[in-house]
Amino acid sequence: MACSAVALSVATVSAVVALTCTSIAFGTDNWYEVRVNPDGNERLASLQEFESDLRYYSRDEGIFRICFPDKRPKGVQTYMSPVQTQCINIDYYINDNGISDTFTDQRWMRLHMARSVVALFIVSFLFSTLSAFPGLVGCWRRSHSNIIATGLLQLLAGLVVASAIGLWHAIPHYEYEKLNFPEMSFSRWPEVLQIYSRSYYGWSYVLAWLGVALTLSSSFMFLCGAQCLRKEKQKEKTQGTAYLVPIYAGPYHCPYSY
């Protein structure tokens, strides 16, 4: 009893925390952070495109938005995000009024990759939500088959999120190799901008990988809990059989004088 109870408790807590981490990572904007050193403003200001090009401004890039924690480019329409930073939306061209008709095949491929990242996260959330139903039934009825189903759904959720993060990594590589966008490739930035720019992965990115790790850990613990539950039920059945004492009908003893 203790084995299954501990395993299922740890698995449940891990699943809830994993879903929370993944949801926060999905909705926040600190996946990739670019910081432009303000000491280089004087040299950067001499460049013609300095005031209007977002590459010259510190920014946080997420799945849905690009936010400017300090100054923002002139002429760029921004709005206030839930965390009080000025942001612009990343355009997925859902309702583009024919703008995407001029895209090349490579540009369409990049757009489909970006859309797939969002779709994979949504599919992962669906798997995580569905896993709750067999999990509740399995814990209530102590059914190891339902617990196994929960573990497998959690495994699928973790693998799908990992695939989404991997695809998110592939987009910049595709932009550099196929689309050849100068604004997307650090090596093609102006030399002075390269000197005063630093980039690194942010806490949203770390939180997404933490969600993957916890989801896979939850899957493992659910499968272990199912195995423990199965052994415990077999043990209970064996012990119940051992205590059964066979009773046989004996002869009816009549008086000898009968």
CB 220 within 8 A of CB 158: no
Q: Structure tokens of 161?
A: 């999120």
Q: What is the pLDDT of residue 134?
A: 92
Residues of the chain with pLDDT under 70: 1, 38-50, 96-98, 178-188, 240-258
Instruction: Give the global pTM.
Output: 0.83
* CA gap 242, 236 in Å, rounded: 10
Q: Structure tokens of 74?
A: 């002139």
CA 210 to chain centre: 8
Check the CA dihedral 216-169-33-78 and report its sign. negative
Q: What is the pLDDT of residue 119?
A: 96
List the one residue out of 176, 226, 216, 190 whose CA is nearest residue 46. Answer: 190
Q: What is the pLDDT of residue 199?
A: 86
Residues 6+ apart with CB under 8 A from 55: 183, 189, 193, 197
Q: What is the pLDDT of residue 247?
A: 59
* CA gap 213, 220 in Å, rounded: 11
Q: What is the pLDDT of residue 50?
A: 61
Q: What is the pLDDT of residue 46?
A: 56
